[in-house]
Amino acid sequence: MLQAARYLLGSPGASGFGSKSTAEEVTAACPDLASLTAIITGATSGIGAETARVLAKRGARVVIPARSVKAAEDMRARILGECPGADVLVLHLDLSSLASVRAFARRFLSLGLPVHLLINNAGKFSHGQLALSEDGVEMTFATNYLGHFLLTKLLLGKMAETAAATGVQGRIVNVSSSVHGWFSGDWADYLQLVTRRKIPYDATQAYAMSKLANVLHTKELAARLQEMGADVTVNCVHPGIVRTRLNRDREGLITDLVFVLLSKLLKTIPQAAATTCYAAVHPRLAGVSGRYLADCNEALPSPAAASRGEAARLWQASEDMISASSSQPDWNF
């Protein structure tokens, strides 16, 4: 009850920020990020776009990888309209395609740019029937998790190299969701069964499982970074649920009343981007790794997300998947 009240009131936690804090407010302590290069997936709209806008406003070079280059160019134009001196680079990337992830990494690394921040923000929720990626992976898992797993793996060496050369600690931010706690059961069995159409497809369960994978990835990656001695941290964030128009087709007293009630629990996009920006650049998070954050404060993930054994198991399964042929998705978890 106390936690709910603090959320509704926007009361600040130990960090000094709370649910009502905005991305601009949490980055006010670090107004000049001119030395940083940030790669932000899913930055053509929503939380990712606000994250890109605010970091660019603070001076960071922002790289926007996107499946739609036009949408990314439009976002670049919007940022430049507000910040004419901003340095914004657009590159093609389809996270559901492992080949596209590898092509993006090759292209980016060929530019010789540093990389200080990697914000794995892009997300997908499938409203329809089961769809598989070109690599034979359930599409939500492929986009929300597996593509980001490979992207991080391919850029990690450059991040460690940048941190060593510049003395600026690298940071990786995985955007998850509290919905990760909705998934029950064994993620490996679920992925195998749903891919082979042995069980009905449940879009919500698929989304929750992909977000659980984001948290487990953070846990295992933090441990591996420490073992490597790399000056790079990784943390996971729950941005909150963004305030949107809940029902575009139906109107009426009941719908309006539901919207008014739920709007007290939902966030604006600037508020939803706050925790991502906090994890990416706030001085308080220097040296902090492997944590799960919500409302710009450390929070507890679900019990399923707290197991190092499951995190290591997912890591190995992910290595198997990115190595497997798309024509033979026969993974042994």
70, amino acid identity = K
145 included as an active-site residue: no
User: Catalytic one among 7, 145, 190, 201?
Assistant: 201
Candidates 151, 128, 130; CA nearest to 42 is 151
Side chain identity, residue 304: A
Say how many C-beta atoms besides its own lie within 10 A of residue 5's C-beta: 9
- Contact, 48 vs 23, CB < 8 A? no
Rounded Cα distance between 183 and 131, Å, is 19
Both tokens of 174, joined, read 């995985």
Cα-to-chain-centroid distance, residue 114: 20
Q: 3-class DSSP state for residue 60?
A: coil
Output the six-digit token pair for 94: 């389809």
Nearest-5° Cα angle at 224, 220 to 216: 10
CB 76 within 8 A of CB 56: no
In whole angstroms, what is the distance from residue 43 CA to residue 122 CA?
A: 7
- Phi and psi angles of residue 58, each rounded to the nearest 5 degrees, phi first: -85, 0
The Cα 159–Cα 107 span in angstroms is: 15
Contact 237, 173 (CB under 8 A): yes
Active site residues: 201
